[in-house]
Amino acid sequence: MIKIAIFCVSYHSDKERDLYLASIERAAKTAGDKVSVDTFVTNNNDKDNPGYFGAVKRMMQKNHPVAYDYVIISNVDLTLEKDFFAKLVAYDCTEDTGWIAPQIWSRQENRDLNPKISDRYSHNKLWLLKMIHRLPFMHSIYTKTLYRRKRAQPLNRKFIYAGHGSFIILTKAFFLKNGIIDYPVFLFCEEIYLAELCREAGLKVVYVPRLKIYDNEHISTGKMSVSTYSRLNYKAVSYILKRFYSTIALLITIALHCVEAQSIQAISQLGLPVVLIETVNGEEPSCEYVSAPEGRMGFSITNATKVPGRISIWQKDSCMFDSGEFSNGEKGMTIKIRGNTSAHEEKKPFKIKLQQQGDILCRGNENKYRDKEWVLLTGHQGMLNTLLGSIVSRIIGVQWTPTFGYVNVFINDQYRGVYILSESVKRNTNCRLNIDKTGFIMEYDAYWWNENYYIPSTSYPECYTFKYPEGSEDFELFKDIIFDMEESIRLGTYEKYLDIQSVAAWVLAHDILGTYDAGGSNIFLTKHDNTNDSKIKMGPLWDFDTILDDRRLNDWSSIHQWSAFFIFDLFRNTNKIPFIETYTNLWKQVYPTITTAISDSLSSFSHSEYGEALNLSLKYDMERWGKEYLPVSDEVNKMVDWLCNHLFFLNDMISRLNSTSIECMTKTNPKEIFYSLDGHKTDVIRHGIYIAKTRKGYRKVIK
């Protein structure tokens, strides 16, 4: 079935509109089940009149045209032939067709209005038209002489420059290249505007006279005064000259690094910032893939190449940031593939390192937010997960929440999809982690086996790796600090070493989010300096790929129950009361308002222009990578529903955190495998009923 959308605009033409809609319905019935036609109507009036294509843009923002095989833009003073849709369905449309111009028979002029313009106008001809409209009396002379001498064009010409604007058939290819129509002129020259977009996109305008409609022309424009008509035409021609014929237009194309103009224009019109990356000689970042050594788990990458190049950030035609061409240590940037599991996906995450500090999130305070290191994350397990994680992080009060933004990315002329452009986890005393030069940023890292420097844990199976400092100068000192911290947890004296408020906030955030992959949650530890007065803090939150997991819906996060890290011991330690009190008090502070706060923040994003821009961009990302996304509004509703259910159970579990009910025991028989009643395997045994599997079968265990 061919899907067709009709966007029609009426202005004081109710009678003509109703007759037109009746002819659409009749033609659709004639085509039968071969066609599906959706008709959208805007009735412009004297109080609200955005113009012809202005009204079309409004309709397209609510009903994106890329969902249709053909999109028709029209006036309403028209009548379709009965077999119009049947013939359109039967038409063999080539992939490089952007615009189909039908026969538009004018009853008033007794001729076919198509082809409207056979060949592209020269700059001089457009300038002459501009001058004609500058002086209304010259336009009157033109209409009474040259215009009346027009005759029907030869019918054997297939490819033309532009069709007539009263009835325009655009293909899906047009919108994939150009996006929603955004013509900033009230009226006139719409045909030239679309013809230029087709020309830039390498798409053809095809004249197909067997598709026939009838036109009772000038219903709306015929009511205009000559002065108004000339003034609007003058503005329209001026815009066309500036946009498509001037030196400025050429410079814009050059500034866009010679990226396909049609792709840039289409993507930039969606509303998200566009990141343009051009590497030296078009080199693509590469890496080698590695698996964990025997006895370890996971897979990662190694030997990731740092490719030099240039990065710029654009908001439509405005350049917000430009690193300049690469010059080592002076301008430009390097890009490399980053990540572990995510780097094995087809859509790669990247690390960007500027040669000079700057704020590529363009927040307007260059001195405060300057840094060299940034990341482009794929959001491959949920594009809104990072947004939700950021909201929860700020509500709970986790130390420093990275700022990020959604962007569309091009690398070496190729569209790479929607990315999350974010600050990296890094020491920066002005705007990121405020760490003294003698302090550290470490990660309790399941991928330690792929790093050059790491500190073995004395109590847990993984090791600690360095985010800062990168070298090994203070290795032995930091090793002693980690040993003392782990020993204090075992002895119950951890308050001397741990900032338990930051630990409680970090764990509670994951319990709220329902994180499933404990080892893959990026567990960061920081220490401001190497003095005894500086305690170890947890945070920031990072990596939200496994949040909102249904297996955690009525349970703690996996991190809360993971015996391979000290969080587990803080909850079960005999001297656990200080931490439990901090954790429960923090929950009591946020619980009365957290559901509403999260819901309001997500809903506000969903209904914003930014949220709509992301929603439209995800459709292009789906076309690029084949990954399915829910519409932003549906994803928000799904998140809020999950959290409402989960937080009810979480509140009940936290209310029972006391000295008796929280007791956790290890299994007395290592050969037994314990399952909770909902069928989940567990190493954590609290009070309750479990099923134990042994070599002799299954048995019920009551603790």
Q: For 162-184, what is each residue's pLDDT tens digit? A: 999 999 999 999 998 888 899 99
Band of pLDDT at residue 664, cut at 50, 70 and 90: very low
* Residue partners of 32: CB distance under 8 A and separation at least 6: none
Q: Which of 17-21, 51-55, 156-160, 338-342 has the lowest mean pLDDT?
A: 156-160
Instruction: Name the CA radius of gyration of the chain, rounded.
Output: 32
How many angstroms separate the CA atoms of 379 and 383, rounded?
5
Q: Give the pLDDT mean for 509-519.
A: 92
pLDDT of the residue at 667: 44
pLDDT of the residue at 154: 44
Give the model confidence (pLDDT) of 47-83 as tens digits.
Answer: 899 999 999 999 998 888 988 999 999 999 999 999 9
Q: Give the pLDDT mean for 90-108.
A: 93
Q: What does pTM read for this prediction?
A: 0.62
Give the model confidence (pLDDT) of 586-606 as tens digits.
Answer: 999 999 999 999 999 999 999
pLDDT of the residue at 224: 66
Give the model confidence (pLDDT) of 213-268 as tens digits.
Answer: 999 765 555 556 777 888 888 899 999 988 888 654 544 444 443 444 447 777 88
pLDDT of the residue at 89: 95
pLDDT of the residue at 299: 86
Bridge partner list, 2? 35
Q: Which residue has the higher pLDDT, 263 or 44?
A: 44
By percentage, how much of the chain surpasses pLDDT 70? 86
Band of pLDDT at residue 680, cut at 50, 70 and 90: low
Band of pLDDT at residue 678, cut at 50, 70 and 90: low
Rama region for 324: left / alpha / beta (φ>0; ψ in -120 to 50; rest): left
Q: Are 450 and 462 in contact (CB under 8 A)?
A: no
Band of pLDDT at residue 413, cut at 50, 70 and 90: confident
Give the model confidence (pLDDT) of 450-466 as tens digits.
Answer: 998 899 999 999 999 99
**Is pLDDT at 153 greater than 50 in this prediction?**
no
Q: Are 56 and 173 in contact (CB under 8 A)?
A: no
pLDDT of the residue at 195: 95
Q: Return the top range by mean pLDDT from 185-189, 229-233, 679-683.
A: 185-189
Show the CA angle centred on residue 543, arms to residues 539 and 546, nearest 5°: 120
Q: Which of 83-87, 113-117, 429-433, 468-472 has the lowest mean pLDDT?
A: 468-472
Cβ-based burial of 24 (10 A; exposed 0-12, middle 13-18, buried ≥19): buried
How many angstroms separate the CA atoms of 698 and 703, rounded?
16
Give the model confidence (pLDDT) of 614-627 as tens digits.
Answer: 999 998 998 888 88
**Is pLDDT at 668 greater than 50 in this prediction?**
no
Q: Give the pLDDT mean for 32-53.
A: 94
pLDDT of the residue at 284: 92
According to DSSP, the β-strands at 673-675 and 681-682 are: antiparallel
Q: Which residue has the higher pLDDT, 341 or 388?
A: 388
pLDDT of the residue at 460: 93
Number of Cβ within 10 Å of residue 702's Cβ equals: 7
Q: Give the pLDDT mean for 659-686.
A: 53
**Is pLDDT at 152 greater than 50 in this prediction?**
no
Token representation of residue 122:
């020269």
Q: Which residue has the higher pLDDT, 455 or 109?
A: 455
Q: Where are the alpha helices (DSSP H) in 241-285?
A: 247-255, 261-268
Give the model confidence (pLDDT) of 115-138 as tens digits.
Answer: 999 888 887 788 878 877 776 555
DSSP state, 241? I
Number of Cβ within 10 Å of residue 389's Cβ equals: 27
DSSP assignment of 120-182, as one string? Answer: PPPHHHHHHHHHHHHSHHHHHHHHHTTGGG--PPPTT--EESB--TTEEEEEHHHHHHH-S--
Token representation of residue 187:
């009226």
Q: Give the pLDDT mean for 436-454.
A: 93
Token representation of residue 109:
């002029």
Bridge partner list, 411? 277, 414
From the list 582, 452, 389, 564, the residue with the least C-alpha distance to 504 is: 582
pLDDT of the residue at 414: 87
The overall average pLDDT reported for the chain is: 87
By percentage, how much of the chain surpasses pLDDT 90? 64
pLDDT of the residue at 441: 96
